[in-house]
């Protein structure tokens, strides 16, 4: 009886725990090339540095987190001869589908060390939708073997807590557990900023990453 009561108490306490959140702003670099028309983002590479243009950042919480009960899933589409979204953060173990929404063939591939693959040519009606599991942390640069200009980025992270900033660098991370962590902001393939944070149950922090 005592054991049952103790379990009920622990469940009640866990259910009553309130998640924390972090809001803030990342100082983004200036646009690397001529402005992109109509806020259409592109992947640029200069001096071996891969980034988005206009710049965006992926903000995430680094720590020791349990593996998800079920494998996560995400989608990166091909629409109007671009990858959508252009920059996709995912947790390690995520299966990403690559639906073709164009009236033409695509051939998505990557030579990145974190994930090498080639989906081959396929049209919009392809079923099942071609996909890949991203099981190694790191940056994966995607291309299309048919449309040379197409580029996309998948950032594989060992955390379930991440978000992409807006064009002004603002972000909000919610549903965070209490504890001590590192808050990181990936800006490009060579630039990641970080700040130690301590979260309390139901707490709200404002953290800027200049």
Q: What is the pLDDT of residues 21-60, one digit of tens each?
A: 999 999 999 876 655 555 689 999 999 999 999 999 999 9
- Output DSSP code: residue 8: H
Q: What is the pLDDT of residues 63-122, one digit of tens each?
A: 999 988 999 999 999 999 999 999 999 999 999 999 999 999 999 999 999 999 999 999
Delineate the domains of the chain, giving CATH numbers in brackets.
Answer: 19-199 (2.60.40.420)
Q: Is 67 helix (H, G, I), strand (E, B) or coil?
A: coil
pLDDT, position 32: 65
Q: What percent of the chain has pLDDT over 90?
A: 84
Angle at 62 between CA 182 and CA 46, to 5 degrees: 90
Q: Is the pLDDT of residue 1 over 70?
A: no
Please give the model's pTM, rounded to 2 decimal places.
0.89
Task: Tell me what the pLDDT averaged over the chain comes to.
Answer: 91
Pairing mode of beta strands 131-134, 94-97: antiparallel
């Amino acid at each position: 009886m005592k054991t049952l009561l103790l379990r009920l108490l622990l469940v009640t306490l866990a259910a009553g725990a309130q998640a924390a959140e972090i809001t803030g702003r990342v100082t983004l670099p200036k646009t690397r090339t001529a402005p992109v028309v109509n806020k259409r983002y592109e992947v640029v590479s200069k001096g071996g540095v891969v980034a988005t243009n206009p710049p965006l950042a992926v903000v995430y919480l680094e720590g020791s987190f349990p593996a998800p009960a079920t494998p996560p899933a995400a989608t990166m589409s091909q629409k109007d001869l671009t990858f959508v979204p252009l920059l996709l953060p995912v947790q390690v173990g995520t299966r990403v589908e690559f639906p073709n929404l164009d009236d033409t063939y695509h051939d998505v591939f990557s030579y990145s060390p974190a994930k090498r693959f080639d989906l081959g040519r396929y049209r919009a009606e392809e079923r099942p939708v071609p996909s890949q599991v991203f099981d190694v942390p790191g940056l994966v640069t995607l291309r299309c073997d048919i449309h040379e200009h197409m580029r996309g980025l998948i950032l594989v992270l060992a955390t379930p807590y991440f978000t992409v900033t807006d064009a002004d660098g603002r972000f909000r991370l919610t549903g965070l557990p209490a504890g001590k962590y590192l808050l990181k902001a990936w800006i490009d393939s060579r630039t990641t900023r970080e700040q130690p944070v301590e979260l309390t149950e139901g707490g709200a922090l404002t953290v800027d990453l200049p």
